[in-house]
Amino acid sequence: AAAEAWGRALTMNVALPIAAVLLDLGFPSATVKAVPILARTAGLLAHLAEEREESIGFPLAAAAEEAVEYRGPE
């Protein structure tokens, strides 16, 4: 039904079955909506911790700036 409504196949990630189980258990929909947000927050915190341990963001950005020639307005 979802594929027909959207006109394409939808790839299911883990948030969808978790939400379905929580709704079946009687959790309010507002609470269920918070689950993917919390999961993404945990992922972001893990990335920040990793970046603190071994910083690669700034070196990658610097390498990208050196590799790409900027052509401004003429």
Token output for 16 = 């969808």
Report the pLDDT value the prediction gives residue 21, as an integer from 0 to 100: 92
Separation CA 19–CA 21 (nearest Å): 5
Interval 27-37: pLDDT, tens = 999 889 888 88
Question: Percent of the chain beyond pLDDT 90?
Answer: 31
Helix (H/G/I), strand (E/B), else coil: 52: helix
Amino acid present at 59: P
pLDDT average, residue stretch 37-45: 91
